[in-house]
Structure formats: C-alpha cells, structure tokens
Amino acid sequence: MTSSLTIETISPSGSALLVQYLEPRWYAAYTCARHEKRVAEQLERRSVESFLPLYETVHRWKNGPARLELPLFPGYVFVRIAVQERLRVLEVPSVVRLVGFGGLPTPLPEGEVEAIREGLAGNLHAKPHPFLTVGRRVRVRSGPLQGLEGILVRRKGNYRVIISMDLIMRSIVVDLDITDLEPSP
C-alpha cells in the first residue's frame, strides 16, 4: 500500500527518477582487495546478476610460471539491479559499497558494461591500463565494442584503444584494427 502512495504522490518530473529507481541498471560494487571472485560467487548464489571481467596472465615465481585469471577492473564487480534491491548486494561479505554520489549508487553509462561483456565473450583480449583521460579520442564503429569511446595510442606499429570507465576511474587497453575506429565528435 505504501508503494502505491509513493507512486501517486510523485510529480510528473519525478517519474523519471522513479523509473530509474525500479529499473535494473548496471552498478559498480567496490570490494575488498582481492575478493572479487568470492564476491561474484556469493552474488551468483543470491541470484543477483553480476559480471566480473577477467583476463589471463602469466606470473613467474620461484617454482615456475603460472597462468592466472585476474580481474580486469581490480576491486570492482558489476551488478545489474534495481536501486531498491541494493541491500541484497551490500549484505554480501567483502562488498564495501556501491559506487555513487551523495549516498546513492550511480548507474554506469547504458551499454558500457554490455559492450565489454560481449567483447570478452568474442575473444577480445583486454588488459588493465592506468586511468587515462587525455589523448586523441576515437569511437569504435564496428566490432564487439561498437559505440564505445576511448583514447588512441600506437605501440610497435599496432593501434590500441584505452577505454576508461570514468565512474570508477579505471581503464583497459584493447588492440583494434584502425579500420574499426573513427574520430570521436
């Protein structure tokens, strides 16, 4: 009964806020250091849609090399929830908070997480990169990352694009063909 009262008392300008509150969107859950995989498992057990992008790397130790899967965005797991369900995520051990401003979680830009998800499913090789904001901006016009914007860098004759998630101040680097890119407006 109280939710119907809330809906009836919201002005027409507040209806967009209500839709955002009830509609599932992607959010970044900040986790304790090196607990990302455990958090993703707990979210799966609680039937919360989540995404933990991983990349494969080789570490060399005294007893030889070892292949490891590490988080592409260290310290973060992405969750798709309605804001009203945020408690289901915050109750998971090792989840510190949902990233946002003013005490409310801020949704990630629409399509950003889905593009990365599709790209990694399509065997796109990405690695973490220091957060970068300055450089020649380009837009990916075709391929699994279509529509995303990034910064173009050139390394050993290959073109790489640094894709940044401004909300969490993290970046990844992907090798792309120059024909898949166009200058960003």
Low-confidence ranges of the chain (pLDDT < 70): 1-20
Buried b / exposed e across 117-127, counting CB within 10 Å, b at 16+?
A: eebbeeebebe
State pTM to two decimals: 0.87
Structural domains present in the chain: 25-108 (3.30.70.940), 109-185 (2.30.30)
Q: Which helix (H) or strand (E) holds 138?
A: strand 136-140
Cβ neighbours of residue 44 under 8 Å, at least 6 residues apart? 50
What pLDDT digit, counting tens, does each position of 109-161 carry? 989 999 999 989 888 899 999 998 899 999 999 988 999 999 999 888 889 99
Q: What is the pLDDT of residue 129?
A: 96
